[in-house]
Structure formats: C-alpha cells, structure tokens
Amino acid sequence: MFDIVTIGHFVIDLIISPRITRPKATLGGPATFVSLAANKLGAKVGVVSKVGKDFEQHFSWLRRNNVDLSQVQVAENAFTTRFVLSYSDGKRKLQLKNKAPQIFSDDIPSSLNAKAIHVAPVANELSVEVIRKLRHKTPLLSVDPQGFLREFNAVGNMKLKRLDNLDFLQNCDIFKSSTQEVKMITGQAKLGASVKKINNYGVKIVLVTMGKKGILAHFSEKFYHIPACRPKKLKDPTGAGDSFIGAFLVEYIRGREPLWCCCVGSAVASFVIEDVGSQRFGERDKVYERATKIYKKGIKPLPRNNVV
C-alpha cells in the first residue's frame, strides 16, 4: 500500500533564467516534485512512468530519496521527456525536445494500491481512459490536467488548447491547476466561474495555484484564499505547483482539513523555489513552522462577489 502514487512522465528540464548563471539539465516533472515533496513529509511514494535509456543515471538518486520505481518502464529505443523552460519578464516559454512513450491503461499494474493517486501528464502521454481505470485503484483520485491542455508545433513550442470533453472530471476528487489553465479548460473568462464549472462535475476540492498570489481553494461550496509562504529567496519557480499538491495530498490522507493542507503545500513550495530544480524541499519541522504562520492568521471564506 502506497500513500501517494503519481502517474505521468518524469522530465529532464533545461531551465534558462536571468537568476541562473549556468543552466544545466535537472530532474523534474510532477513525478519528481510530487514524490519528493510527499516523501519529505514521511509518505511512502511510487511512480508509474516511462523513460528512456538516458534516464538511468537518475534511478539511484531517486531510490536514495525513497521513491519506488518498480513501475517505471525503460524504453530501449526512446529518450526521456525533455523540456527547455525559458523564464523572462515573469513569463515562461516551454519547448518540448523529446517525448517518452505513451502510458496506456495496460501499463497500470493490477496490483496497484494507494491511498491517493495523482494523475499529472506533461505532454499528452496518457489518455482519459487511464483516469477511468485508476478510479477503481484508490479512494482519492487527484488530477492536474496540464498535459492534456498542451499542444506542440513542429519545433516543440507549446501553446494551450481547449478540451472538447470534460467528463473525465466525474472520476476525480481533487483538481489542481494554474489560473491560466483552469480558465482554458473551462472556457470561462472569470476564475470563480471556472472553478464552479469544475466543481459541478463532482470534483470535491478545486485548487488553483496563483504564484506569488497564493492559492484559491474551493470546497464545501465555499471559496478560500490561502496566501503564499514567503521564501528567503526566489531562484527558480519550476515545480512549485507540483510540490504544493504533493504536500497537500499527504496531509489530506492523514485526515487534516483542507485549509491546513493548503498551508503545508504552500510552505513546501516556498522551499522548492529557493533553489534550482528538485534540490530543496525543506525539513519537516521547518515546513510545518512556515505553514503554521499562515494557518494561525485565520483563513475565512471569501464573499462570492470577491472571486472574479
């Protein structure tokens, strides 16, 4: 029995930013950030993914960090999914350089058993059919749809696209996405209307990451704004949202209420952005210390007309 299992591609990122003097390839993607964030809080984590032979150097490091890789397949004649991420003027450009093989329903082991499963494609590497199969593998199914929304041109440059059918959300308990992505997936101009549309499919908790503005959470028919934890420095925002949901899920399966889970997620994310890639997550006591500072301030429901 795992606590958290992440479904989606591992990624090797090349991050280019004015804050990074010597860019180099780093291990990334939701499979990395969700797993490491959850493990730092004491969770037993695993990943279902596909990689290329070029990934072998990362196996030992992930195992030393207690990530179960028994369901990660190495494709002999393929490369691991790779992105170039370019940050400039507060905006990010994403270019796909390589894509690992698809993850099919048959790749989900029949013995898979987890308290929570997080589905997080990055480049359309799995279909909604996988989500339907996973519904029967866990009591708590979480999804980040970013990979479903991305399309890439001939040179790999990414832009977001609309989805014609959102019925897969009927299988999901928790939905996490960015402001831009949640508006794109719903076709709604206003954030509050976007969140409500997702909730209407039966999603219990909707979480919208807003960068420095924090988190917008919706559950039990109410909206909440959770402030972002302040990092000591800002080096690289890559992986902050994935780390947030990894920490959120750990606290949630332990029975903590959603606002506390959001605060812990925000705290973990604040440590991640203090370094480049998946190098820094913060020790557990320091994470809870930062989370408590936000939580003790008291987070009240937002008036409905304040959510635009």
Torsion, Cα 45 39 175 276, to 10 degrees, reads -120
Q: What pLDDT is recorded for position 275? A: 87
Alpha-carbon distance values, 240 to 179, 197, 274, 302 (Å): 14, 25, 10, 24
Question: Taking a C-beta distance cutoff of 8 angstroms, is the pair 131, 171 a contact?
Answer: yes
Full pLDDT tens readout for the chain, 308 residues = 899 999 999 999 999 988 887 888 899 999 999 999 999 999 999 999 999 999 999 999 999 999 999 999 999 999 999 999 999 887 899 999 999 999 999 999 999 999 999 999 999 999 988 999 999 999 999 999 999 999 999 999 999 999 989 999 999 999 999 999 999 999 999 999 999 999 999 999 999 999 999 999 999 999 999 999 989 888 888 999 999 999 999 999 999 999 999 999 999 999 999 987 677 888 899 999 999 999 999 999 998 776 76
User: Domain span at residue 279?
Assistant: 2-306
Long-range Cβ contact pairs of 13-16 (< 8 A, separation 24 or more): 13/82, 13/83, 13/84, 13/85, 13/238, 13/277, 14/82, 14/83, 14/84, 14/85, 14/97, 15/85, 15/87, 15/236, 15/238, 15/276, 15/277, 16/84, 16/85, 16/86, 16/87
Tell me the C-alpha distance between 251 and 248, whole Å: 5
When divided into structural domains, the chain yields a total of 1
Q: What pLDDT is recorded for position 18? A: 85
The enclosing domain of 302 has a CATH number of 3.40.1190.20
Q: What pLDDT is recorded for position 99? A: 97
Handedness of CA 60, 49, 43, 38 (dihedral sign): positive
Q: What pLDDT is recorded for position 308? A: 65
